[in-house]
Amino acid sequence: MTSPFDPTVAHSARIYDYWLGGKDNFAADREAAKQAIAANPGIVFDVRANRAFLARAVGYLADECGIRQFLDLGTGLPTASNTHEVAQSVAPDSRIVYVDSDPIVLAHARALLTSNPAGATAYLDADLRELDQILPAAAQTLDFSQPVAVMMLIVLHLIPDSDDPYGIVTRLMHSLAPGSYLVIAHPASDIKPAAIAEMTKRINARLGPARGTMRDRGEITRFFDGMDLLEPGVVQPQFWRPAGSVPDAEVTAWCGVARKR
């Protein structure tokens, strides 16, 4: 269920919005974001690299893989190159369901529902753990007998090991047709580890119960178990099928795209 709205407690979606240059954040979010920047100055570049990865992955799946359905979990606040905008620019009949549990994201959901008339978009107010709620509601827009691309960008770190994030991903993918795809970007614990550990500590101190769990490349790769990883495998976001030259920077995340057999 959606947590009660409290602007005095930082929220990951609004912190991310600040890093992306957005305006939908509060003083608590900005303070947490600035503390994170102090610990890891590259974080602003990192989140923009992750956003660029989302656009490339969605574009690739829609254009080269023929995917017409997307389930975007942990959507975050609307910004440039949202999933439906990228997918429908390639295939106007694409159908997208967004899922998030932040009341601020819900308030801005209308920006995520500006679908091309040939396709459809929908928004669900739910937590990633609530698959019993998400799957039947998403089925009102998506046809689960056909392949679906699941987008899980910078959200799985908010699921602690005690809540079995691997089980959640396995159950979700089990519900989808063969030929579906899983797209993950996840903050890394093994890239610039000292800076990431300090950044995580500072953010977690301000996030309340929704604290982050950073994971290493092996732990993130495990989310793709039983699926076929697309080349180039699990890499930093700037190295996943780059459109041009790759920036000379260490992005503190791992990402990958895999196909369900």
CATH code, domain with 163: 3.40.50.150
Identify the pLDDT of residue 209: 62
| Tally of domains in the chain | 1
List the domain range (segments joined by +) for residue 64.
Answer: 12-259
Q: Residue 2 falls within a domain, yes or no?
A: no
E strands, the chain, are 69-73, 95-100, 120-125, 149-153, 181-187, 228-229, 253-259
Identify the pLDDT of residue 208: 62
Identify the pLDDT of residue 110: 76
Q: Residue 142 falls within a domain, yes or no?
A: yes
CB 97 within 8 A of CB 148: no
> Against a cut of 0.75, is the pTM above it?
yes
If phi > 0 it is left, if psi is from -120 to 50 it is alpha, else beta; for residue 76 that is left
Q: pLDDT in tens for each of the 261 residues of the chain?
A: 444 567 888 877 788 788 888 888 889 989 888 988 888 888 888 888 999 999 999 999 999 999 999 999 998 887 778 999 999 999 999 999 999 987 778 887 777 788 999 999 999 999 999 999 999 999 999 999 999 999 999 999 989 999 999 999 999 999 999 999 999 999 999 999 888 888 888 877 776 666 779 899 999 999 999 999 999 999 999 999 998 888 777 899 999 999 999
Identify the pLDDT of residue 15: 84
Residue where the block lists tokens 């076929």: 228
Spatial separation of the C-alpha atoms in residues 155 and 183, rounded to whole Å: 11
Identify the pLDDT of residue 132: 97
- Rounded CA Rg of the chain: 17
Q: Residue 3 falls within a domain, yes or no?
A: no
Q: Between helices 193-207 and 12-19, what is the axis angle to 10°?
A: 130
Spatial separation of the C-alpha atoms in residues 258 and 252, rounded to whole Å: 20
Q: Residue 1 falls within a domain, yes or no?
A: no
Residue where the block lists tokens 């890239």: 191
Which residues share a beta bridge with 97?
71, 122
Q: Residue 167 falls within a domain, yes or no?
A: yes
Q: Residue 4 falls within a domain, yes or no?
A: no
Residue where the block lists tokens 């990865």: 53
CB 163 within 8 A of CB 213: no
Identify the pLDDT of residue 210: 62
Q: Residue 44 falls within a domain, yes or no?
A: yes
Identify the pLDDT of residue 222: 98
Q: Residue 7 falls within a domain, yes or no?
A: no
Measured from the Cβ of residue 55, the count of other Cβ atoms closer than 10 Å reads: 18
